[in-house]
Amino acid sequence: MEGIHGLLRLADQLRLSVEAGAERRADPSRRTAVDVLLAVLALLAAAVTVLGCIALGWWVLWRTTLHRIGMFRDMLGLNRVAKAEAKRRAEEEIRALRSQLSAQHGSWQRHPHGAEGEGEGEAQADGSGGQRRFKDE
């Protein structure tokens, strides 16, 4: 029985100290430096928790979905190497096609019947000498 009375006294003392602390914190003239420090730390902890949850959410979205979407990769500058490589390959392909076309153009000039090749007169009429021009030339 005495153990129960001791627990009740302890609970009552805890209630009184909580009430006194609440009254002290409610009155700005009675606040201590520790009260202000705890309030600032609580605000910082809440802000870090919220920002951490947001960052974790974006990280999970990036790892699962967003890394596949080109717009997000462009915004973060992750496509520069891939785009440069694709541009280099395209330029090589254009050079190969140009050399192939010039080889075919040379065969058009040497027509097997000794006459001018088809379309050669049209090409020379526009001043290009029978060569096709590309936009970037």
Residues 6+ positions from 25 with CB-CB distance below 8 Å: 31, 35
Domain boundaries of the chain, sorted by first residue:
1-31, 33-78, 80-109
pLDDT confidence of residue 52: 98
- 103-137: pLDDT as tens digits: 887 755 555 555 444 444 444 445 555 555 555 54
63: Cβ contacts below 8 Å, ≥ 6 apart: none
Tell me how many degrees the CA angle 42-14-3 measures, rounded to the nearest 5: 140
* Pairwise CA distance, residues 8 & 11, whole Å: 5
User: Nearest-5° angle of CA 41, CA 46, CA 51?
Assistant: 125
The reported pLDDT for the residue numbered 120 is 46
Q: What is the pLDDT of residues 25-69, one digit of tens each?
A: 778 787 788 888 988 999 999 999 999 999 999 999 988 887 778
Give the model confidence (pLDDT) of 62-98 as tens digits: 888 877 787 777 777 777 777 888 889 999 999 999 9
Q: State residue 22's pLDDT score.
A: 80
Residue pair 94/86 in contact by the 8 Å Cβ criterion: no
pTM for this prediction: 0.42
